[in-house]
Amino acid sequence: MAGQPRHHDSPTLDPRVIDETAAAVGERGADALSKAEDEAFLDPEAIIQWSARLRRLLLRTRDLGLLRSEVPTLAQRTLRLLEDVELPTGKSAEAITEGFFASLPEVRRRLSEDVEAAFDGDPAARSYVGIVAAYPAIRAIATYRLAHELHRVGVPAIPRVMTEDAHSRTGIDIHPGATIGRRFFIDHGTGVVIGETCEIGDRVVLYQGVTLGALAPRKGQSLRGVKRHPTIEDDVTIYAGTTILGGDTVIGRGSVIGGNVWLTQSLPPASKVQLEPPRLQLRRDGEAKEQTEQLHWDI
């Protein structure tokens, strides 16, 4: 009957198609997917859920009794996750788990400073709870700070799953290997990229679309272990859309980098860099007239 949904029987596949598909998908060889399976069997969703519980543990104050039950539960989950990956020689899952949980009080102190920096630096901020609950930068930074503790002791894969989940949810891509100081603030945040060997000092502010990246990415694995990303010293502000590249590039303390700047060279402390403002032509009655003074906007 017209307008009625059509129901179809389940398709019947040729048994040969089933056998060939199963054999091809299940084939083990020297390809990249087989190598990934040989290295570890990870459940990304389990890591993401565990990471979310860790963030809640740090970003929300809870009853001490609840914390005393939550911490051991999370420690057991951490241990199980670590048992699924190949850890560095001489490091056990138990030792890494204990060290990781011993680091959480310092991680929480740093996150508290990051929230304070966001409140002090953003005139649109009305409350601390608004920052913790709503700002994508806090989610991304909190995930990074947790993942960094695992990355720095050599835990493979898990830290990257954590930060890539935050990346997909916030648009902020922070590699867990980056080194980031205190009172770090990312305003708006969408499109920010911070590479693995980047070093960022204290009280640094980034705006949306900033890239702290590497030169010569086509060299790939030959650059493993080499410092490829810039160093940003204390008290630097980098405005929207700016790209800073290279492991030898150092932005000196107290510098201000304007929007849409491209930098591959170092700057001394207290530098101010901006693009030359574009010249404007205004058309009135079909006649072009150059605007000698720039238009200024408050955003």
Same domain (yes/no): 163, 130: yes
Tokens for 236, please give them. Answer: 């630097």
Same domain (yes/no): 142, 214: no
Give me the mean pLDDT over the 223-237 stretch.
93
The single residue listed with the structure tokens 């890539």 is: 164
Tokens for 36, please give them. Answer: 């990934």
pLDDT at 289: 64
CA-to-CA separations, 142 to 57, 113, 149, 162, in angstroms, rounded: 11, 11, 11, 10
Q: What is the CATH number of the domain that holds 109?
A: 1.10.3130.10
Same domain (yes/no): 114, 232: no
Same domain (yes/no): 133, 183: no
pLDDT at 291: 58
Same domain (yes/no): 155, 209: no
pLDDT at 191: 97
Q: Is the dihedral of CA 129, 170, 202, 124 positive or negative?
A: negative
Same domain (yes/no): 183, 115: no
H-helix or E-strand containing 64? helix 64-82
pLDDT at 77: 96
pLDDT at 299: 40
For residue 232, give its domain range.
Answer: 178-273
Same domain (yes/no): 46, 168: yes
Taking only the tens place, the pLDDT of each residue in 138-176 is 999 999 999 999 999 999 999 999 999 999 999 999 999
Query: What's the domain count of the chain?
Result: 2
Does 145 fall in a domain?
yes
CA 98 to CA 93: how far, in whole Å? 9
- pTM of the predicted model as reported, rounded to 2 decimal places: 0.85
CA 107 to CA 100: how far, in whole Å? 10
Give me the mean pLDDT over the 231-258 stretch.
98
Give me the mean pLDDT over the 185-201 stretch.
97
- Asked if 280 and 294 touch (Cβ cutoff 8 Å), the reply is yes
Q: What is the CATH number of the domain that holds 191?
A: 2.160.10.10
Lowest-confidence region among 69-83, 200-214, 268-282: 268-282
Same domain (yes/no): 109, 212: no
Same domain (yes/no): 153, 244: no
Same domain (yes/no): 65, 85: yes
**Better pLDDT: 285 or 168:** 168
Does 288 fall in a domain?
no
Same domain (yes/no): 239, 183: yes
pLDDT at 161: 97
Lowest-confidence region among 12-26, 107-121, 202-216, 243-257: 12-26
Same domain (yes/no): 107, 209: no
Does 25 fall in a domain?
no
Does 20 fall in a domain?
no
